[in-house]
Amino acid sequence: MNFFALLRSSSASTARTCSRRILSEAGPSRPLVQLARQQRKFNTSTVTDYQTSQCASHPRWVNKPQLPPAVETTEAGEGHDPQVVRLDSPEDGQSPPDSSAPPSSSSGSSGDGSDGSSSDSPPPPPPPDPPAPTQTSISKQSIPEVYPQVLALPIARRPLFPGFYKAVVVRNPAVVAAIKEMMRRGQPYLGAFLLKDEHADSDVITDINSVHEVGVFAQITSVFAANTGPTAKDGDAEEGLTAVLYPHRRIKITELVKSGGAPATAMVEPTEEPQPEAPEQQPTPPTTPEPVEKELESSDKPEVISSPALLQTEFLHSYDISVVRVDNLATQPYNKDDQYIRAFMSEIVSVFKDIAQLNPLFRDQITNFSINQVASNVFDEPDKLADFAAAVSTGDVQELQDVLESLNVEDRLRKALLVLKKELINAQLQSKLSRDVDSKIAKRQREYYLMEQLKGIKKELGMESDGKDKMIEKFKERAASLKMPEPVKKVFDEELNKLQHLEPAASEANVTRNYLEWLTQIPWGQHSPENYSIAHAQNVLDEDHYGLKDVKDRILEFIAVGKLRGTVEGKIICLVGPPGVGKTSIGKSIARALDRQFFRFSVGGLTDVAEIKGHRRTYVGALPGKIIQALKRVGTENPLVLIDEVDKIGRGHNGDPSSALLEMLDPEQNTAFLDHYMDVPVDLSRVLFVCTANVLDTIPAPLLDRMEVLEVSGYVSEEKSCIAQKYLGPQAKEASGLKNADVELDPTAVDMLIKYYCRESGVRNLKKHIDKIYRKAALKLVQDLGESVLPEPVAAAQDEKTEDAQKTVEKQDAPSNEPAAKETSVPKQESKEGERKVTTAEREPLQVPETVHVRITPDNLKDYVGPPVYYKDRMYVKAPPAGVSTGLGYLGNGSGAVMPIEATAMPGKGGLTLTGKLGEVIRESAQIALSWVKSHAFELGITKTEDEQILNDRDIHVHMPEGSIGKEGPSAGTALLTAFVSLLTKTRVNPDIGVYDSRTHPDSVAHVLTSTLAMTGEITLVGQVLPVGGLKEKILAAHRAGIKTIIAPEANRPDIEENVPESVKTGIRFVYVEDVREVLREVFRDQPIAERWKDTLQ
């Protein structure tokens, strides 16, 4: 209860005492104007002293504010009525004295009946009358009890509370002018209402719903000019006003009489005296206990005029401002001795104490409140305590407004306590954060101080230096073991000398130290010894890869040249081929065959030149490029560096990395490669660069010109079968835990897997399927064996050190004399949530019994890998109809395919329609083929005369099946021309005679016509057949589909004879042609119509 020991204000008590003394001494005969003058004099001096003290504690108010003009009083005379100011309430927030109160009871009384009134100092003598009616302004006037219409000023961000000052800035010129006029007239009163929109900022109310209806009736105690920023049209700064408001009581808007920019709806208030209302803080007291404040009764006290007509507000309607009609809101009657009220107040005082200990600013505000409080004890005025709690807190705006709108004291105290509790939580959090930061800073300062002392002591004793000497000695030792070139040695000495003169804490010292670290970690003059044994290299390459004869021969040539010269120079080899053929893995094999160190980095999607050339040292966190990092990693000057996915390198706003590779991969320039970070020449001539790519089209021409391209073609079925049985099968078997189990993948199942599941050129997809087969076999084996062979508790890991992580921490903190917990032989099957088990023991593997045998054959292959992906190789097993031919294509995954071409004619206007997701080049090939057929229609027997035209009234539609797959390229030219000739002559392509497959028709020996002829080649408009690419993959697809005859360009004969394995060419008849006439003779050689073409097609 004694927390607010200074809750009594001597100045306020003196003002109240003197005011009542003046009123009691005046009697009914003294004029009201004279009373107003004396009261104004006293209030002027008292409030001026109060403002002086407030300005001392709040420096933001010290601006030498202009006091508002005085209330001019003119004696009744000729043509003039006296202007009278109401003086009903002598003090802020106090109810007007009762006219029936005796004069003797008001003198020296505090108005609340408390014992502390006797301790007030006697009031000063009344000041003399003013010398002139133009007396300067007063800061505080008697507060009118009834003020129905007031200027409405919207307030942003937080509401005002009675009894607590608030400075506001007014920018609206009309509002500024109205306030000045109010001050001049001596009526400095307005209503302050909180805006509902937190982001709104306006000085007028245009809509009554834009503000909260409950606000405060405030008095303007002082005003002074404020420069609000933008200039007016005349060039002067826009005039603003800073007004200090002192709220007196709560009010409520009942009507928006005049909004900003709208005409007035009401002029002058009615002159009849309103019904008396219960003034604020004067509720009807209960009989017991004592009321909060007693009314002083005096029948001799002069009557105070309370008519609102004396306060004219009609002049406000001439300004473009907001005027509202308001009603006073009185606090509901309460009993200050109520246990709930006292409990709330005690808790609020307790929270105040806690916050004051954490927040010094809060402590100052509480002190000011204690000094300015009227009651001797804070528990005598619970309503003011609630308002103070809300006024000083920084809570939610809506919560503060709820406190303002609460007229029930208990409810107001409850809401204020809630706001204060949140304020306490925020203060505690801020205090905790502040303590944490202070502790960290103090710890660092203490460590720094002790380290500096330790350095000083060691330096005085000569025990140890600051560490710089050791660092410099380390760099010198590293440099001594390297064969640095002369330019590099010079740069090293300069940087080392600079480091010696730098302070260790300097930022430049850290940059120099990192640079010297990189400079001394590059293997200058150090290289790994190479193995030039041809036999060793041959064994390593054959051990790691099957096939790839061209690549192996090139590596052997490289080794042979090195053996003859005694040294080798760096080469740039580019391996180009479809995915999954082993381009990346062959790089590792080459490094192992040469006994060189291996480093790989990918440039796929790389868009930053700094990844190749490094960053400049001026950037924070700068690093050298990839090649310098490779030299540091391998520690030799002659590693094998694999640059993967060089065809997928990107280009961005940070430069073109492919251009940066030119300097690194050019044998004429890489002897002095300059990295941006190192800024010294680095010799890369002894590095063997191996690049990989899927296609050559996307590699820039200047970069491609510096490479030696080796094409890595796809594997044939026999090669893939050998790879699966020698490499992929054993690896997958061991990885699945079946190394010692009798699980066998039959070779016929591998062949079926290759034919119907994995037709791509590489073996990556084949490896995935073989891994899946062995995983399925492992699952079935464990499911069949069950728990009978190896129960799970026996196989589980057993470790004496197994324990929960949480218990481990507890045991580390426990005393050493405590006995260790006894471990069980079988681990726990259940553990608490949040705990984990750790162990160092290895799990016992499952031993598959020798009686278990698993065989994967073509019959049960579907159970392991699902249904086949490819069902048939040809659409037309039997002889196709007229207008259909068979071509050969090269797919994007590196494999070939047999592609039928269908053509049909229909009535039309001679148009050509192409479908099947065809590209621009293949469309042009179709146009060329059709034009050749039209120009040779008479020679082909399509027309009877040379002048006769064809296809004037018919359209041709060409379709290539599997429309979801894009098709592009000129190699379908011969097949398209054959389809057109077959369609227009109504002659189908020459079929072969075969028999039914005995596996599908075991009881039939009937012959059947089958289509076993395919072709490829680009054609010209005059009928020449040009070479095409991808012949090996196309022939592999034809061999898989059972094609017996292949028509190919004559220019591709060397490629076919050299690159296509004999096992694939066996059983296939190759027809090499140079002209389309040779194609037609071969395609229609056994047809009767061919006899008519012998003379014309020579």
Position 791 scores a pLDDT of 59
Instruction: Report the pLDDT value the prediction gives residue 875, as an integer from 0 to 100.
Output: 65
Six-digit token string for 889: 């294509």
pLDDT of residue 229: 52
Q: Are 624 and 675 in contact (CB under 8 A)?
A: yes
Taking alpha carbons only, the member of 316, 322, 324, 318 closest to residue 202 is 322
Output the 3-class SS for 342-411. Answer: HHHHHHHHHHHHHHHHHCHHHHHHHHHHHHHCCCCCHHHCHHHHHHHHHHHCCCCHHHHHHHHHCCCHHH
Contact 1029, 1011 (CB under 8 A): no
Contact between 595 and 530 (Cβ < 8 Å): yes
CB atoms < 10 A from the CB of 335, how many? 20
Helix axes 549-565, 534-544, angle to 10 degrees: 160
Q: Tell me, what's the pLDDT at 267?
A: 35
Say how far apart CA 376 and CA 380 lie, in whole Å: 8
**Burial (Cβ within 10 Å: 0-12, 13-18, ≥19) of residue 131:** exposed
**579 carries a ligand binding annotation:** yes
Q: Using only the alpha carbons of the chain, give its radius of gyration.
A: 52
Domains of the chain with bracketed CATH: 10-74+84-119 (no CATH), 149-268+283-329 (2.30.130.40), 339-432 (no CATH), 468-521 (no CATH), 534-711 (3.40.50.300), 714-794+847-871 (1.10.8.60), 884-1093 (3.30.230.10)
Residues known to be catalytic: 971, 1034
Using CA atoms, how far apart are residues 203 and 193, in angstroms rounded to an integer?
11
Residue among 236, 219, 178 nearest 85 (CA) = 219
Please identify every stretch of the chain with a pLDDT value under 70, giving residue numbers as ranges: 1-141, 227-239, 259-312, 369-378, 463-466, 786-836, 872-877, 892-894, 991-1011, 1086-1098
DSSP state of 725: I
Element at 829 (helix H, strand E):
none
3-class DSSP state for residue 502? coil
Q: Is 1002 annotated as a binding residue?
A: no
Residue 254: predicted pLDDT: 87
User: Binding residue per annotation — 714?
Assistant: no
**Ramachandran angles phi, psi of 906, nearest 5°:** -155, 160
Phi, psi of 148 (to 5 degrees): -65, -40
pLDDT at 291: 34
State the pLDDT at residue 1026. 95
pLDDT of residue 1007: 40
The token duo for 604 is 């796929």
Q: Measured in whole angstroms, how far is the alpha carbon of residue 1063 from the centre of its chain?
A: 58
Is 671 annotated as a binding-site member? no
| CA 271 to each of CA 26, 145, 310, 763: distance values in angstroms, whole numbers, following the listed order | 26, 15, 9, 106
Question: Binding residue per annotation — 144?
Answer: no
Q: Check residue 312 and give left, alpha or beta (phi > 0: left; psi -120 to 50: alpha).
A: beta
Q: Which residues contact 1068 (CB under 8 A, 6 or more apart)?
A: 1035, 1038, 1039, 1043, 1044, 1045, 1046
Q: Which of 1008, 1030, 982 is nearest to 886 (CA)?
A: 982
What pLDDT does residue 680 have?
93
pLDDT at 976: 94
> Taking Cα atoms as reference points, which of 982, 994, 938, 754 lies closest to residue 861?
754
The model's pTM is: 0.54
Phi, psi of 709 (to 5 degrees): -85, 130
Please name which of 56, 198, 73 lies closest in space to residue 133, comparing C-alpha atoms. 73
For strands 992-995 and 954-959, give the pairing.
Answer: unpaired
Residue 786 marked as a ligand binder: no
Scanning 786-874, the segments in alpha helix (DSSP H) are: 792-795, 805-813, 862-865
577 is in an annotated binding site: yes
Q: Cα angle at 792 between 788 and 796, to 5 degrees?
A: 140
Is the distance from CB of 637 to CB of 631 less than 8 angstroms?
yes
CA-to-CA separations, 819 to 614, 811, 822, in angstroms, rounded: 59, 10, 9
Please state, in angstroms and rounded to a whole number, the distance separating the CA atoms of residues 455 and 420: 52
Query: In the chain, what are the helix, strand and coil shares in percent, each to the nearest 5?
Result: 40, 15, 45
Q: Sign of the CA dihedral 608, 613, 615, 621?
A: positive
Residue where the block lists tokens 């200090």: 244
- What pLDDT, on a 0 to 100 scale, did the predictor assign at position 373? 59
Strands 640-644 and 688-693: parallel
For 127, phi then psi, to 5°, come to -70, 160
Distances (CA, A) of 520 to 6, 502, 503, 682: 76, 19, 21, 13
Instruction: Confirm or deny that 729 is annotated as ligand binding.
Output: no
Amino acid 306: pLDDT = 43
